[in-house]
């Protein structure tokens, strides 16, 4: 397949067959699994997935790659390819007979975070997502409290999924070679995320905290806390809080707000 990579689409094609196999093997596919591949590109992962899955749905944004791959894999009856922007892709376009499907993909690095949040939004239909990311983003997903990489993406992903970094991939595995290292991360979505009194408040608390990450919670959350006194150490900074501690802080703020409203 002759294709000039488009820099504006973050096109770096995987050319190492051993790594393609390693990524697909890490997804632990069975002959009954349905897979949705994000960004099929030249089909390095697609061809490997097709040897192991029941049906493969692919989403490719580039018209030239879409038409070429569709032609090359036209004899694969268990492959359906969509020409679409994944951020606008409607999951209702395919039927998995109510079974959860698995995600595999080499994500365009310039839109990897929005894609991850889209996967979170559709988590009830997804079993696992085995995705390639810029190593810097991968570290943010899996990092623990008190780490420089720990932030909004860490908290939200770990709230909804068990996040594991599986292995790194060097630039030499791609054409053209990217200027950054890549990593494979696997998200296993939880059947039931931890209970929180109000998720909108939880989002507010996390975002406002990390938007001023160098400040103590007392200052970064001053608009939410006001002059109230709550049973929480507000001298901490956001990177010091675990997901469970963000939940506890949210519950305290929300319940206190309800009490104030009920007293009026």
| pLDDT tens per residue, range 207-257 | 999 999 999 999 999 998 888 888 999 999 999 999 999 999 999 999 866
Could you report the per-residue pLDDT of 162-180, keeping only the tens digit for each?
Answer: 999 999 999 999 988 888 9
Percentage of the chain beyond pLDDT 70 is 92
Residue with tokens 């697609």: 46
Residue 71 contacts residue 126 (beta carbons within 8 Å):
no
How far, in Å, are 5, 13, 14 from residue 174 at the CA level?
A: 11, 5, 5
pLDDT at res. 165: 98
Matching fold, domains 7-189 and 199-263: no
Which residue, 114, 163, 113, 143, is CA-closest to 241? 143
Q: Tell me what the mean pLDDT of segment 57-73 comes to.
A: 95
The conformation of residue 18, written as its DSSP 8-state character, comes to H
* Residue 260 pLDDT > 50: no
* Beta strands at 79-83 and 55-60: parallel, antiparallel or unpaired: parallel
What is the rounded average pLDDT for all residues in the chain?
A: 91
* Residue 7 pLDDT > 70: no
Could you report the per-residue pLDDT of 179-195, keeping only the tens digit for each?
Answer: 899 999 999 999 999 99
Among 75-89, 92-106, 195-209, 240-254, the least confident range:
92-106
* Residue 263 pLDDT > 50: no
pLDDT at res. 228: 81
pLDDT band of 3, cuts 50, 70, 90: low
pTM, two decimal places: 0.91
The domain ranges of the chain are: 7-189, 199-263
pLDDT at res. 99: 84
Could you report the per-residue pLDDT of 8-29, keeping only the tens digit for each?
Answer: 556 688 999 999 999 999 999 9
pLDDT band of 264, cuts 50, 70, 90: very low
H/E element, 140 = helix 135-142
More confident residue, 110 or 126: 126
Q: Tell me what the mean pLDDT of segment 101-124 comes to.
A: 94
pLDDT at res. 262: 41
* Residue 161 pLDDT > 60: yes
* Beta strands at 55-60 and 161-169: parallel, antiparallel or unpaired: unpaired
The CATH number fitting domain 199-263, selected from 1.20.1260.10, 1.10.8.100, 3.40.109.10, 1.10.260.40: 1.10.8.100
Residue with tokens 């093997």: 25
* Residue 65 pLDDT > 60: yes
Residue 125 contacts residue 151 (beta carbons within 8 Å):
no
- What SS3 state is found at 212? coil
Superfamily of chain region 7-189: Vaccinia Virus protein VP39 (3.40.50.150)
């Amino acid at each position: 397949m002759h294709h000039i990579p488009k820099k504006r689409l973050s096109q770096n094609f995987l050319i190492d067959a051993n790594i393609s196999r390693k990524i697909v093997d890490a997804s632990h596919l069975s002959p009954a699994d349905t897979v949705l591949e994000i960004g099929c590109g030249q089909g390095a992962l697609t061809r490997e997935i097709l040897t192991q899955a029941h049906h493969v749905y692919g989403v490719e944004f580039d018209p030239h790659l879409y038409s070429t791959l569709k032609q090359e894999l036209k004899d694969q009856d268990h492959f359906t390819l969509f020409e679409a922007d994944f951020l606008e892709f409607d999951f209702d376009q395919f039927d998995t007979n109510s079974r959860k499907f698995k995600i595999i993909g080499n994500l365009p690095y310039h839109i990897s975070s929005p894609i991850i949040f889209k996967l979170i939004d559709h988590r009830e239909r997804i079993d696992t997502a085995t995705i390639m990311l810029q190593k810097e983003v991968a570290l943010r997903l899996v990092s623990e409290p008190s780490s420089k990489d720990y932030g909004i993406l860490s908290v939200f992903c770990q709230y909804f999924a068990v996040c594991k970094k599986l292995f790194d991939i060097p630039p030499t595995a791609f054409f053209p070679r990217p200027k950054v290292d890549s990593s494979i991360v696997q998200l296993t979505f939880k059947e039931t995320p931890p209970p929180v009194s109000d998720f909108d408040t939880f989002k507010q608390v996390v975002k406002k905290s990390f938007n001023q990450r160098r400040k103590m919670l007392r200052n970064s959350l001053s608009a939410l806390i006001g002059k109230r006194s709550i049973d929480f150490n507000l001298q901490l900074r956001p990177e010091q809080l675990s997901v469970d501690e963000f939940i506890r802080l949210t519950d305290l703020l929300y319940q206190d707000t309800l009490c104030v409203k009920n007293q009026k």
